[in-house]
Amino acid sequence: MKKLLVGAGLCLLLLGIFQGTALAQNLVPNGGFDQQVLGPWNQYGQNGSSLMAEFDVTGNGSSWCWKRQPADGHDGGIKQTVTLLGGVTYNISMYLAFLCSC
């Protein structure tokens, strides 16, 4: 009986460890543009000469980003559909740079 309880306890412990790992996964494919391409992001609106570029947003060296150059009008950007679960708290963080020659 003790072996059964110890075995069940170990199974629950391992299940908890793997569940924690699964919950910590990145839900936004290519969120950091590490693949050096825009996909699976989709452009919408007026984006002019937008392209993938290297830029230093943190001061720790450059990384890949999507450089948006607005065309006529200022609507436009990129979007991606992400599946989320109800009742779950999500943390979203990002680096954002804005350059203006206004």
Given this model, what pLDDT does residue 13 score?
42
Model confidence pLDDT, tens digit, residues 67-84: 887 776 678 888 999 888
Confidence of residue 101 (pLDDT cuts 50, 70, 90): low
Confidence of residue 100 (pLDDT cuts 50, 70, 90): low
Neighbours of 50 (CB within 10 A): 18
Residue 42 pLDDT exceeds 50: yes
- Round to whole Å and give the CA distance between 89 and 60: 30
Residue with tokens 């990002």: 94
Given this model, what pLDDT does residue 15 score?
46
Helix ranges restricted to H, the chain: 2-23
Whole-prediction pTM? 0.60
